[in-house]
Chains A and B, each alone.
Chain A
């Protein structure tokens, strides 16, 4: 009984703490499509997939789909309105990359700065295979 009561007490305190609003960066209401889904489920799914691979600029370890920063909300609004207007998700990504560079996108691309990331593992596998092949050959 006491344990249950203690649990309820802890729960009450915890819920009260949760109810205190986090100090917002601004007092404006969120953009229309920051927290509202598109009516068309296919378009919404496309927008959601894209938003999960776009970096929040204010909170750089989160995607804009995960972030509650006002700017991430405005970016979701931008993505959803563009998708609703018939733009391809990759065109929306390209629009943002043209403004913020590769940094804004989580989708890996091979470019003149990122190619070593793809080439090095391949080279290491080839090297390991070569060493293994030589060892096995000399042993037999």
Chain B
């Protein structure tokens, strides 16, 4: 008669295998969320990325009005997909400021001519400095900034139709 306890290590091992197998079937979450939610924006002064919109400074985002800060680039494919949804946000009254990552003025101009310009300001971030400072890990990402320049919410990836009401709600909550 074998004692039942000899099976304990095997059972533990099978449990481990089962857990590992389950984890392998789960889709990998590629997004890294910013840990700057609730923190103020850093000091920055971005040059205009486009001829017909001013650049972007910290002061522009501290005038009491909450805004969406969209981190994007003309070379970013999902940014094309989100363009109509940013336009929908603008029509619903959102003030959207853009931060163009590693971009050239002529490419920005071409992108805006092709896909629309929902931005009231666009700053250029050629060394991804502001992007790193706010904990953004890619393009596109959309942050909700309250009237005091504090980061309130982060949307990772492109904005889709379902995200529009969520962002409007977060924007209203940041009043």
* B102 contacts A by Cβ under 8 Å: yes
Chain B residues near A60: list those with CB within 8 A: 30, 32
Chain A residues near B126: list those with CB within 8 A: 28, 31
Given A77-B127, A100-B135, answer yes or no on A27-B75 (Cβ-Cβ < 8 Å). yes
**By the criterion CB–CB under 8 Å, are A101 and B132 in contact?**
no
How big is the A interface, by class?
A: 20 to 34
* A98 contacts B by Cβ under 8 Å: yes
**By the criterion CB–CB under 8 Å, are A99 and B104 in contact?**
no
* B46 contacts A by Cβ under 8 Å: no
Given A26-B73, A57-B138, A60-B30, answer yes or no on A75-B132 (Cβ-Cβ < 8 Å). yes
Dominant secondary structure of chain B at its interface with chain A: loop
**By the criterion CB–CB under 8 Å, are B137 and A78 in contact?**
no
Given A27-B75, A57-B138, A58-B138, answer yes or no on A99-B36 (Cβ-Cβ < 8 Å). yes
Q: How many A-B residue pairs have CB under 8 A?
A: 63
* B148 contacts A by Cβ under 8 Å: no
Give B70-129 interface residues, CB cut-off 8 Å to A.
73, 75, 101-104, 107, 126-129
Given A27-B104, A99-B133, answer yes or no on A71-B32 (Cβ-Cβ < 8 Å). no
A75 to B131, CA, bound (A): 10
Give A67-110 interface residues, CB cut-off 8 Å to B.
70-71, 74-75, 77-78, 96-101, 103-104
* B134 contacts A by Cβ under 8 Å: yes
Chain A residues near B30: list those with CB within 8 A: 60
* A25 contacts B by Cβ under 8 Å: yes
**By the criterion CB–CB under 8 Å, are B35 and A74 in contact?**
no
**By the criterion CB–CB under 8 Å, are A74 and B128 in contact?**
yes
Chain A residues near B133: list those with CB within 8 A: 99
Chain A residues near B129: list those with CB within 8 A: 74, 78
**By the criterion CB–CB under 8 Å, are B104 and A71 in contact?**
no
A71 to B137, CA, bound (A): 8
**By the criterion CB–CB under 8 Å, are B32 and A101 in contact?**
yes
Chain B residues near A74: list those with CB within 8 A: 102, 127-129, 131-132
**By the criterion CB–CB under 8 Å, are A99 and B103 in contact?**
no
**By the criterion CB–CB under 8 Å, are B35 and A100 in contact?**
yes
Q: Nearest Cβ in chain A — how far from B71, in angstroms?
A: 11
Contact residue among B32, B101, B102, B132 (Cβ-Cβ distance under 8 Å from A103): B32
Contact residue among A28, A101, A104 (Cβ-Cβ distance under 8 Å from B103): A28
* B34 contacts A by Cβ under 8 Å: yes
Residue of chain B at shortest CB distance from A34: B127
Given A26-B103, A70-B102, answer yes or no on A99-B127 (Cβ-Cβ < 8 Å). no
Contact residue among B104, B131, B134, B138 (Cβ-Cβ distance under 8 Å from A28): B104
Name 20 A/B residue pairs within 8 A (Cβ), A-sorted.
A26-B75, A27-B107, A28-B103, A70-B128, A71-B131, A71-B137, A71-B138, A74-B102, A74-B128, A74-B131, A75-B132, A78-B129, A96-B132, A98-B36, A99-B34, A99-B132, A100-B135, A101-B33, A101-B35, A104-B32
